[in-house]
Amino acid sequence: MNIIPNFRGFFWLILIAFLFTWFGLVVFPWLELGHLPPIQDEGSTDITPWDSSGAAHAGEHIYAANGCAYCHTQQVRPETSGADIIRGWGTAKDGDGKDVTRRTYPRDYIWQGQVFLGNSREGADLSNVAQRFPDAAKLYSYLYDPYVLNDHSAMPAYRFLFVTQKISGQPSTDALVLPAADAPPAGYEIVPTAQAKSLVAYLLSLKKGYHLKPDEAGIPYVPPSPNNS
């Protein structure tokens, strides 16, 4: 029995088999979701999703290089598929404080240069981490010592993102406020490096508190006609 009766035929069959997977898995989703435009929020002048600052985009590199995506996801599944909403990871508020708790949609990621949906949850989902931690100081102290928030944490400490320096004159406004166990010796302060600042800026940009139409996946924006409002 000859598995390869004809090399050319074999080659073409393999090619077709690969193309089947390539088109089905990569090309068709790309055609559907690869070119999503932003939309204008109904009833406001917001462009959604919210874009983030340059510092936040720089933070993506720090997030990637230090492998945060190996323990944290950034995708919230719907209520029908897992308990992500119950865990509170989809909880978000819009500008008026109204609840926008929802799953994440493809359009949520179009401004991100590199997307970190993640595949492992040793730590919490970070899609709306800025909603739960709107304060940079808390994020800095958590990065410096994860035990501050959770003394069972398996998260590594990122002390190499910070510098312990002597206080010269006035204490720096960036200096971390830490519990006594982590506090630097007297006369010293702990300040974040530029890498830490970018990373925290990135984390602070992670919130999905804007409206997207339910079940929408990529519907192009149609401006409201003058008769409706």
Partner 1 sequence: MSHQNPQVESPPQPSGNDAIQPKAPDFIETQDVPPLSLEHERFPLWLYLLCGFILFLAGSSFTGFGIFGRDYLDQGPGGPVMASASQATTQVAATPMDLGKKIYGGNCANCHQASGVGAPGSYPPLVGSEYVLGFKERLAAILLKGLQGPVTVKGASFGTMVMPAQETILTPEKIADLMTYIRGSWGNTANAVTTDEVNAAKTKFASHSAAFTEAELQKIAPNGPDPTDKKP
Partner 2 sequence: MATLFPTTVAPRGFVSTDPELAAVDASVRWPVMVCFLSAVHWMVVGTFLLVYASSLTHPQDAFPILGWFVDLSDNFSMFTYGRVWPAAIDALVYGWASTAGLGLAVWLLARTSRAPACSPATLMTAVVFWNLGVAIGLTGIFLGDSTGVELLEFPAYATWILWLAYALFALWAVATYLGRRPGHDHIAQAWVLVALFAFPWLYGAGSILLSASHPLPGSGVIQEVISAWYVHGIYTLWLAPLGLGLLYYLIPKISGISIRFGTKAKIAFWTWIIFAPWTAVHDLVGGPFPAETVTIGLILSGLIFIPVALIGMNLVSTAFTAEEKQGHHGGVVFPFFVLAAVLFVVAGASEQILSIRSANELLRFTMFRECNQLLWIYGFFSFTVFGAIYYIVPRLLDFGWRSAFLIRIHYYLSLYGILLVISILGFGGVMQGNILENTDVQVTIVTANDVSISYHIAATMCISLIAIGNGVFALHLGWMLIDWLRLRVRGNRLAAEILIEPYEGDAPAKASEEVAA
Look at residue 153 and give the partner it binds from partner 1, partner 2, none, a contact being a CB closer than 5 to 8 Å depending on partner kind.
partner 2
Least CB distance from residue 170 to partner 1, whole Å?
19
Q: Considering the complex, state which of residue 106 and residue 184 has its C-beta at the smaller distance from partner 2.
A: 106
Binding positions for partner 1, 121-160, rule CB under 8 A: 131-132, 134-135, 137-138, 141, 148-149, 151
Position 92: which residue type?
A
Contact assessment for residue 75 and residue 117, using Cβ atoms and an 8 Å cutoff = yes
Residues in 65-94 at the binding interface with partner 2, rule: CB under 8 A: 65-71, 73, 75, 77-78, 81-83, 86-88
Give bridge partners of residue 93 from the DSSP assignment: 99
Instruction: Assess 174 for contact with partner 1 (CB under 8 A).
Output: no
Largest CA distance in the chain: 85
Cα 210 to Cα 20, 50, 104: the distances in Å are 37, 8, 11
Count of residues that interact with partner 2, criterion CB under 8 A: 80
The answer to the question of residue 219 lying near partner 2 (CB under 8 A) is no
179 binds, among partner 1, partner 2, none (CB under 5 to 8 A by kind): partner 1
Give the one entry of partner 1, partner 2, none that residue 110 binds, where binding means its C-beta sits below a cut-off of 5 to 8 angstroms depending on kind.
partner 2
Q: What DSSP string runs through 2-45?
A: -S-S-HHHHHHHHHHHHHHHHIIIIIHHHHHHTTPPPEEPTTS-
Partner from partner 1, partner 2, none contacting 121, C-beta within 5 to 8 A by type: partner 2
Find the shortest distance in angstroms from Cβ 228 to partner 2: 29
Token pair, residue 82, equals 């897992």
Instruction: Give CA–CA dist 5/20, Å, rounded.
Output: 22
Give the x-and-dash track for 39-58 against partner 1 (CB under 8 A).
Answer: --------------------
Interface with partner 1 includes 82 (CB under 8 A)? yes
Please spell the DSSP secondary structure of 37-77, one letter per residue.
Answer: PPEEPTTS--EESPP--HHHHHHHHHHHHTTGGGT------
